[in-house]
A and B are shown apart, each in its own frame.
Chain A
């Protein structure tokens, strides 16, 4: 029988081996699925490569797809590290997008940098507000955060549907009504592109900055200490004088604000008009990204980029290799499982093969 033992100290090379194994097993399982679906495996993977990182254009496209996922992944990290099981990233993306859109209408005409800063700030505030609401519900009435965030998701998603599908923000013309979208935002409200690419935009910079800020915040500030302590033992934290209700409120505001930025980035960087369908699933995928990233900001950045690549490559897989489109979320699920297993396994070691006594 194989005997395993918990490690006292984490061994870095072992961790790398575990995560590499997770990748390999993930790809093997994916290949199995591709084979079952009747697709040509090598062709499918070639298409994935081609569509995600074969040239500058596809790489930038991958990064652009990664941008919102990195942000929602970070939002997950901030909450989950404190063992606050917020599922509200999805709704916070929507509310961030909506309040940013509101800002773009309100402040139209201001100098472009002030205008953009206000749009971004309002986006963050919109997400933060929704996060704060869940925290208040929990602090005041002891409402479970899973319930409140999921319910708020529904409310905000349908609210956006109303606003652009017949409500006051519905765009002019049949096209806008059919697709439930607003009028295009003004050119000055668009996030500037990076590298003249027409793909990768300023949202990516926001994501990278957010990663660094979260990394420093979680590991090197008293607030981060409190977030981590809350995740491990909130009773002891509270017992020794920390107001954990305040900690919860602040971390939910932070988590919501970051998720809100994902909404800004998607609407003002990529889509350029407010519509619900482009935001679907960003928050939920972010949960997977954050988990695969081992609930660390840096890990989330890596996982987000990989997922961006998958999203970008999947289009090619569909066209070139005739792989069913639903296979991509399935792959994401497979990788989530293998990475979670690797995450647990990296804390153990094999101490020997021994016969059962």
Chain B
């Protein structure tokens, strides 16, 4: 097959303070291909795409489109040249309709909107790609998968010839992902070139070609047909990785049968009057990890908020050691010894402009330990933080750098360090490994397992079903705010959990 190059970068480099984001990247995109960018977090995939989309200006190197040198000053320039991008976090106006969202900002030359004409154009695009969307519904009423279609339609409406998708399936159910790949297939048949950023090896294998990135460099570009998933993973990490730590689960016998924390019939209506939590029942036991499987946005956040005192449920009870504690303040929960690793680490877990040492006492700044006669004991706090940095292997020049300057993995370690050293009974971890490198993921799981051995009751939510099966003792499946079933990790399979998620079987142990 004759391949014509549509986009090419030549020795592209981009540096951020203290970080090599991209260095001498030679990237080649053929017309009509699905090209996957594969690599760990911080490998430079997103930076490369940001350069291609005009968000960042490369520090050196060239970008050629159709053989012509291009310089994008802004994403607007890139869009004009037929490049579209769908971000991980959608850029949509919730209170606009689908149609309004798609045409917003597209016909800046005219003073009036020709909604009918746009709608007809869109209808034919939708028909072509078998996308079923009601143009008049508000975006906030759409499912996450449908919102993504809106983003894709936006690019198609603007006649994009190159479409960049940044981890498109991170927020989708398996069913929605399948549909997305159908659409991607059709686009590629129509001659649209697709750049797909992904962590997931199963998606990578569906691409026409894969470029593996590591530490800002493009390591290799190959066709998945000529390689194996294992080989690709090794290439990405630069070493052998195995996550499958099959362990002896003898510890389970020591698990107390009496739950330390039990949740009964918890209900919560969110602001859109949908059930975010629907009759949730859970039991956490000391020395046990309970997994919470499900696509994010199905009530995990609300459940964790309720269990950490950051949300008052509409009804139901939370019982800790025989005491009803629902509706108490987050302070109260913390003082009971309940640690929390929130899913949005920079928003809820850290204060970005604060130093590492200040972050290690966040929430315990009034603790006697850190104060001497009403004043913060800076010396003690610094020493405390330095010890934690050593203990948790945080890579940082010293304890006074703001956590904003740490990589995602190291920032997460700061949260782990803080929560581990201030809690002693229960650990709530919501997506603790999201967006982290494989090496750090291993580390986080190791730490969590250590806590189980210390007798913590742990609730661990994740989208990575395989990891849950490997680590947890029991797994509850959550979907639409409901617990669809709880299974024993040792005797379950991804298929069974997947079926529970889609509500096709009922299993309760």
Contact = CB atoms under 8 A, between A and B. Distances in A.
A binds B: yes
Interface of A: 5-9, 216, 220-222, 224-226, 228-229, 232-233, 235-243, 357
5 contacts: A6-B17, A222-B370, A224-B376, A229-B362, A357-B61
Interface of B: 17-18, 58-62, 308-310, 329-331, 333-334, 340, 342, 347-354, 358, 362-363, 365-366, 370-371, 374-376, 378, 401, 405
A357 B331 contact: no
B21 to A, nearest CB: 13
Contact of A232 (B17, B331, B342, B354): B354
B376 to A, nearest CB: 6
Contact of B350 (A7, A216, A233, A357): A233
A121 B354 CA distance: 35
Contacts of B309: 241
A142 to B, nearest CB: 14
Given A8-B17, A236-B362, A240-B362, A229 B351 contact: yes
B346 to A, nearest CB: 8
A253 B11 CA distance: 58
Contacts of B362: 229, 236-237, 240
A305 B62 CA distance: 54
A236 B351 contact: yes
B354 A243 contact: no
Nearest to B371: A222
Contacts of A8: 17-18, 401, 405
A235 B371 contact: no
A220 B376 CA distance: 5
B143 to A, nearest CB: 26
A5 B17 contact: yes
Contacts of A241: 309, 329-331, 333-334, 363
Given A222-B366, A240-B362, A357-B60, A235 B347 contact: yes
A357 B14 CA distance: 12
Contacts of A239: 308, 310, 330, 340, 342, 348-349
B347 A225 contact: no
Nearest to A224: B376
Contacts of B62: 357
Contacts of A228: 354
A236 B375 contact: no
Contacts of B378: 220
Nearest to A233: B351
Contacts of A221: 374-376
- The 10 A-B pairs at the shortest CB distance, nearest first, are namely A240-B363, A241-B331, A222-B365, A232-B353, A239-B348, A233-B351, A241-B334, A222-B366, A241-B363, A225-B365
Given A241-B330, A241-B363, A243-B331, A232 B405 contact: no
B376 A235 contact: no
Nearest to A240: B363
Contacts of A216: 375
A229 to B, nearest CB: 5
Contacts, number: 82
Contacts of B333: 241
A32 B59 CA distance: 39
A240 B334 contact: yes
Nearest to A242: B363
A245 to B, nearest CB: 11
Q: Which of A216, A224, A232, A241 has the most CB of B within 10 A?
A: A241
A241 B351 CA distance: 14
B381 to A, nearest CB: 10
B289 to A, nearest CB: 23
A236 B378 CA distance: 21
Contacts of B61: 357
Contacts of B405: 8
Contacts of B310: 238-239
Contacts of B353: 232-233
A235 B354 contact: no
B17 A235 contact: no
Contacts of A233: 347, 350-353
B330 A226 contact: no
A240 B370 CA distance: 16
A169 B333 CA distance: 53
Given A8-B401, A222-B370, A229-B365, 17 more contacts: A220-B378, A221-B376, A225-B365, A232-B352, A232-B353, A233-B350, A233-B351, A236-B347, A236-B348, A236-B349, A236-B350, A236-B362, A239-B310, A239-B348, A241-B363, A242-B363, A357-B62
Q: Which of B62, B348, B358, B371 has the most CB of A within 10 A?
A: B348
A131 B370 CA distance: 30
Contacts of A238: 310, 330
Contacts of B351: 229, 232-233, 236-237
Given A222-B365, A225-B365, A242-B363, A235 B330 contact: no
Contacts of B349: 236, 239-240
A189 B347 CA distance: 51
Contact of B59 (A6, A9, A225, A357): A357
Contacts of A232: 351-354
Nearest to A241: B331
B365 A220 contact: no
A235 B348 contact: yes
Contacts of A229: 351, 354, 358, 362, 365
A225 B334 CA distance: 19
A357 B59 CA distance: 7
Contacts of A9: 401
B145 to A, nearest CB: 28
Nearest to A225: B365
B419 to A, nearest CB: 9
A341 B196 CA distance: 41
A240 B361 CA distance: 10
Nearest to B309: A241
Contacts of A224: 376
Nearest to B18: A8
A223 to B, nearest CB: 9
A104 B211 CA distance: 79
A8 B374 CA distance: 31
A94 B405 CA distance: 44
A251 B59 CA distance: 45
Contacts of B340: 239-240
A241 B358 CA distance: 15
Given A233-B347, A235-B348, A357-B59, A226 B342 contact: no
A142 B18 CA distance: 42
A290 B363 CA distance: 28
B330 A240 contact: yes
B498 to A, nearest CB: 32
Contacts of B17: 5-8
A243 B308 CA distance: 14
B323 to A, nearest CB: 18
A243 B477 CA distance: 33
A348 to B, nearest CB: 10
